[in-house]
Amino acid sequence: MLRFVGKRLWNGSLTLFALVTLTFFVMRLAPGGPFSRNRKISPEVQANIEAAFHLDEPIWQQFGRFVWGLLHLDLGPSTRFRDYSVGDIIASGLPYSLTIGAWAVLVATLVGIALGIAGAMRRNGFTDYAAGTVGVIGIAIPIFVIGPVLQVVFAVQLHWLPVGGWNDGWRSLVLPVVVLALPNIAYISRLTRASMIETMRENYVRTAVAKGIGPTRTLIGHTLEGALIPVIAYLGPATAAIITGSILIETVFALPGIGRHFVDAALNRDYPLVMGITLLYGALLILFNIVTDLLRAWIDPRLRHAR
Amino acid sequence: MKASKIAKWFAITAISLGFTATSALADDTLDRGLGSEWSSLDPQVNFDANAGWIMSDVYEGLVTFGPGGVMRPGAAESWDVSADGLTYTFHLRDGAKWSNGDPLVAQDFVNSVQRTLNPDTVSDKGYYFYSVVQVKGAAALANGETTDMSTLGVTAPDDRTLVIEMLTPAPHILEVMGAFQIPPLHTPSYEANGAGVFIDPAKVVSNGAYVIKEVVPQSYVLLERNPTYWDAANVAIPFVKYQVTEDVSTELKRYEAGEIDITYDIPANQIESLRASIPDQVFVYPIIEELYYTFNLTHDVFKDINVRKALSLAIDRELLMNKIVKSGAVATFSYAGGFDPTYDGPLIPGAELTQAEREAMAKDLMAAAGYGPDNPLKINIVTTVSDSRIKMAQGAALMWKKVLGVDATVEPMEVKAWLDSFNAGTWDVFADDLVGDFAGAESFLAYMRPSAESGYNWDKPEYDAQMDVAATKADMPSRNIELAKAEKILLDDVIFAPIAREASHHLVSPHVHGFEPSVAEYNLSQFLTLD
């Protein structure tokens, strides 16, 4: 087990290094730089500003400097947000993204699995159709439509919740969590339903029923355990994507997470910030994939023995 | 990023989730939309207009700007000008204080200018002191030719007197003596804590009508009334919250829900309907930003002035701005006029005609240049990606097609690529956009000096010479007369087609009083009231 994790971590770091190397050089190919502007500042001052961020050095040296910083867990200063280092920006934005993301994952998993089970148990009944409809809506309607609609209804009309910002404690969380969870509820419920229906036809489930151990125990101990494997496989990368912050959610609900920085930093040619966020996203994605594999192995003995 | 820091943030987040329920609707707080996040709260470094609003509430310069952007005495109660116009002597208010009770002294302003110019600060704002006005010694300090601060022409002979010596007269100097350009520096707190002090509400010391109470990166900056401010008795609103409102349609909904009192912007496609439904709350007014289409003089086709003139005349500016773009930007036939009401500048040749006459003239000029239906001119327009800019370029291309048969393609680019493309010269027509440094013609005209900006490839020693003549005038009326002569040289050469003056758009809640249009966007919170 430890060897497996170690090997995955080592492979993950190699992938990560390839990712940041590629990002570093691709980013420099984009026209313009962090200090392009149409102001007449003197060439000496412009040169001084670029030198302060080492932009005057040959690109290989800049890359070396970046890697050296990385080894010391120093991502450097942001070229746009001058009061903060890239580490500061991530440290201040990540907790918000994590909070919203964690709640969204929790809600999506619980509601999604519950709807999926309900649909599978009462196939083609009312619950199944209702869950199916929610699923289709969740998948088909994009965030930038459903978000504003909920804002208009619950904030502008009813005044129950704020439209956006981070000024009202838990009330600021409700709409973003719901909107972020919705498409995932849809996927998870469809996955659970399909997988449940398939598992219910398995021999070991039929055996359990034949032994007469009761519908609840069969459901939880036998059917669900087998049916959840694809759901867990989905949850790994989905969790990484959700908790690292959704650019759309953070923009639509004016939340101070890090997702928004991803696009803005690239547009502002804030090289260090782009690198920092890419690195974080990459690392989280790899980490959650490893965790998913471990969870699947834990649930599914066949995977354990195969290794 | 340290683990302890993350843990701390988790704790803060958890606490804020559990216990706070402060409402943005609280009527002692003015909620102002800020657009994108402030890039810096360091008063000597920040160069963003929106962060400048926070700075103007928190710091007070030698002068300040009242309702409508009208200049009035700030930290200085009066000033004298020497006969040659080169030396300004500012007299500071008696008893003015910092927010920690320390007396505000003239040396604090000297320290501010010194820190701005010091290359170690890595600020581009030194520009105000060596380019917009030429303060003695400023250029050499900014360029690192000397580190001897005693060579700087900004001195404090005593605690209440500040002297600024310039190399050439600049009657517009007062326009750049506000909090954005010359905020005083509280040296003891800065020296004790470094630049991190400016974002630390517990340590930052300021002299404006407000002090910084809370900073939440990417979310908001909360300000509280400063009891030590000299005019605190006339500051009505206890708290001001500048909220990041990056997405303009979310901002509109937050306004409708009562979460924002003054918006940063209005979605362009909503201006008309909002003007119809809530006319008293819609503020759309021109600001110091000029939109003009520059012709690439290095390309052979544009070496012929007839082609440039024809393209300029064929644009129906009123139709383009009022019926196609509809962003509130105002059509114009001048480049530097309209910002300072005392400046009487020239208009482009042909401005006196009707649009039909202009179009007829444009057709003749184009034919004379050898272009026609069998030999259409093919050009590109490089513009930024915002909706209204793209609409504007598409509209202009349409008019060129209709009137002159020109095939123009629109190439939208994000801002950094657009800036880069200007220097690379990969454009026929560049959708130019210039924000002035102050509400005066000179800010725009100085920018076009061939000696200052080579990117236009405009070889015109007469223009530089005329600008040099203007620079010798120490009083505004005679300076404006010389500047108008320079603008005539510029417009007669048609190196660009001025099209419109950009507008600012805000929604202002009926609970807010005292908000007035201002070309330089000065609406300090201290002059507003809330009911």
- Would you call B265 an interface residue with chain A, using a CB distance cutoff of 8 Å? no
CA distance A100 to A90: 15
- Would you call B143 an interface residue with chain A, using a CB distance cutoff of 8 Å? yes
Q: Do B218 and A42 touch (CB under 8 A)?
A: no
| Contact between residue B220 and residue B140 where contact means Cβ atoms under 8 Å apart | no
pLDDT, tens digit (0-9, with 9 covering 90-100), for B394-431? 999 999 999 999 999 999 998 888 988 888 888 999 99
Q: Which residue has the higher pLDDT, B124 or B406?
A: B406
Q: Do A169 and B19 touch (CB under 8 A)?
A: yes
Q: Is residue B465 domain-shared with residue B512, that is, in the same domain?
A: no
Domain containing residue B143: 6-260+508-530
The residue written with tokens 């409708």 in the block is: B256
Q: Do B22 and A33 touch (CB under 8 A)?
A: no
- Closest-CA residue of chain B to A158: B257
Disruptive mutation site among A50, A78, A160, A163 for chain B (greatest number of B CBs within 10 Å): A163
- Number of residue pairs across A and B with CB atoms under 8 Å? 195
Q: Is residue B112 domain-shared with residue B147, that is, in the same domain?
A: yes
Residues 181-220 of B with CB under 8 A from A: 195-196, 198-199, 216-220
Alpha carbon separation from B75 to B178, B208, B229, B268 (Å, rounded):
9, 9, 10, 38
Sign of the alpha-carbon dihedral angle for B114, B120, B124, B127? positive
Q: Do B419 and A84 touch (CB under 8 A)?
A: no
Q: Is residue B239 domain-shared with residue B299, that is, in the same domain?
A: no
Mean pLDDT of A154-180: 89
In this structure, is residue B279 part of a structural domain? no
* Partner residue facing B143 (CB), from A44, A164, A256: A44
CA distance B401 to B406: 5
Q: Is residue B301 domain-shared with residue B428, that is, in the same domain?
A: yes
- Closest-CA residue of chain A to B434: A38
Mean pLDDT of A171-180: 91
Winning range, highest mean pLDDT, from A178-187, A197-206, B277-286, B365-374: B277-286
Q: What region does A124 belong to: left with phi over 0, alpha with psi -120 to 50, or beta?
A: left
Q: Do A39 and B216 touch (CB under 8 A)?
A: no
Sign of the alpha-carbon dihedral angle for B523, B524, B528, B530? positive
| Contact between residue A151 and residue B247 where contact means Cβ atoms under 8 Å apart | no
- Would you call B3 an interface residue with chain A, using a CB distance cutoff of 8 Å? no
pLDDT, tens digit (0-9, with 9 covering 90-100), for B252-273? 999 999 999 999 999 988 999 9
- Would you call B5 an interface residue with chain A, using a CB distance cutoff of 8 Å? yes
pLDDT above 60 for A269: yes
| Contact between residue B105 and residue B159 where contact means Cβ atoms under 8 Å apart | yes
Q: Do B257 and A159 touch (CB under 8 A)?
A: yes
Per-residue pLDDT at B27: 79
| Contact between residue B240 and residue B223 where contact means Cβ atoms under 8 Å apart | yes
Q: Is residue B30 domain-shared with residue B16, that is, in the same domain?
A: yes
A256 contacts in chain B (CB < 8 Å): 216-219, 244
pLDDT above 80 for B29: yes
B119 contacts in chain A (CB < 8 Å): 45, 48
CA distance B378 to B356: 24
Q: Is residue B417 domain-shared with residue B457, that is, in the same domain?
A: yes
The strand order across the sheet containing B378-384 reads B330-331, B496-507, B282-295, B429-435, B378-384, B407-413
Helix extents (H) in B405-460: 415-424, 441-447
Q: Is residue B331 domain-shared with residue B399, that is, in the same domain?
A: yes
Alpha carbon of A165: minimum distance to chain B alpha carbons (Å): 7
Q: Could you tell me the two tokens for B334?
A: 């001048």
Domain total for chain B?
A: 2
In this structure, is residue B148 part of a structural domain? yes
- Residue A233 banded pLDDT, cuts 50, 70, 90: confident
B400 φ, ψ to 5°? Answer: -65, -40
In this structure, is residue B270 part of a structural domain? no
Q: Do B37 and A81 touch (CB under 8 A)?
A: yes
Q: Is residue B51 domain-shared with residue B184, that is, in the same domain?
A: yes
In this structure, is residue B498 part of a structural domain? yes
Alpha carbon separation from A29 to A1, A25, A59, A83 (Å, rounded):
42, 7, 11, 27
Q: Do B22 and A167 touch (CB under 8 A)?
A: yes
**Which of these, B453, B449, B490, lies nearest to B308 by C-alpha position?**
B490
Q: Do B131 and A93 touch (CB under 8 A)?
A: no
Per-residue pLDDT at B10: 44
Alpha carbon of A51: minimum distance to chain B alpha carbons (Å): 9
Q: Is residue B242 domain-shared with residue B138, that is, in the same domain?
A: yes
pLDDT above 90 for B440: yes
In this structure, is residue B267 part of a structural domain? no
B43 φ, ψ to 5°? Answer: -65, -25
In this structure, what DSSP letter does residue B194 have? G
Q: Do B9 and A91 touch (CB under 8 A)?
A: yes
Q: Is residue B499 domain-shared with residue B512, that is, in the same domain?
A: no
In this structure, is residue B273 part of a structural domain? no
pLDDT, tens digit (0-9, with 9 covering 90-100), for B59-80? 999 999 999 999 999 999 999 9
Q: Do B420 and A32 touch (CB under 8 A)?
A: yes
B139 contacts in chain A (CB < 8 Å): 42
Alpha carbon of A292: minimum distance to chain B alpha carbons (Å): 24
Strands B496-507 and B529-530: unpaired
Q: Is residue B332 domain-shared with residue B433, that is, in the same domain?
A: yes
- For chain B, what percent of residues have pLDDT higher than 70? 95
Disruptive mutation site among B218, B434, B445 for chain A (greatest number of A CBs within 10 Å): B218
**Which of these, B369, B368, B363, B364, lies nearest to B401 by C-alpha position?**
B363
Mean pLDDT of A253-270: 86
CATH number of the CATH domain containing B423: 3.10.105.10
Query: Model's pTM, two decimal places?
Result: 0.89
Alpha carbon separation from B515 to A36, B38, B180, B260 (Å, rounded):
34, 22, 20, 15
CATH number of the CATH domain containing B48: 3.40.190.10
Sign of the alpha-carbon dihedral angle for A77, A81, A83, A84? negative
Q: Is residue B324 domain-shared with residue B202, that is, in the same domain?
A: no
- Beta strands in B71-191, from DSSP E residues, in sequence order: 71-73, 76-81, 87-92, 154-158, 161-165
* Partner residue facing B39 (CB), from A82, A151, A252: A82
Residues 389-428 of B with CB under 8 A from A: 414-422, 424
Per-residue pLDDT at A305: 55
A99 φ, ψ to 5°? Answer: -60, -50
* Partner residue facing B199 (CB), from A32, A33, A83: A83
In this structure, is residue B210 part of a structural domain? yes
- Residue A8 banded pLDDT, cuts 50, 70, 90: confident
- For chain A, what percent of residues have pLDDT higher than 90? 15
pLDDT above 60 for A61: yes
User: Average pLDDT over chain B, rounded to whole?
Assistant: 91
Per-residue pLDDT at B392: 96
pLDDT, tens digit (0-9, with 9 covering 90-100), for B450-505? 888 888 999 999 999 999 999 999 999 999 999 999 999 999 999 999 999 999 99
Alpha carbon of B132: minimum distance to chain A alpha carbons (Å): 9
- Closest-CA residue of chain A to B436: A39
- Would you call A80 an interface residue with chain B, using a CB distance cutoff of 8 Å? yes
Tell me the ipTM for this assembly.
0.85
Q: What angle do CA A130, A134, A136 make, to 5 degrees?
A: 115
| Contact between residue B523 and residue B50 where contact means Cβ atoms under 8 Å apart | no
Q: What angle do CA A231, A236, A241 make, to 5 degrees?
A: 120
B21 contacts in chain A (CB < 8 Å): 168-169, 171
Q: Do A42 and B217 touch (CB under 8 A)?
A: no
pLDDT, tens digit (0-9, with 9 covering 90-100), for A105-128? 999 999 999 888 888 888 888 878
Give bridge partners of residue B294 from the DSSP assignment.
B430, B496
- Residue A202 banded pLDDT, cuts 50, 70, 90: confident
- Residues A128-138 as b/e (b if ≥16 CB within 10 A, e otherwise) read beebbebbeeb
The identity of residue A223, as a single letter, is: T
pLDDT above 50 for B171: yes
3-state secondary structure of B74: coil
In this structure, is residue B265 part of a structural domain? no
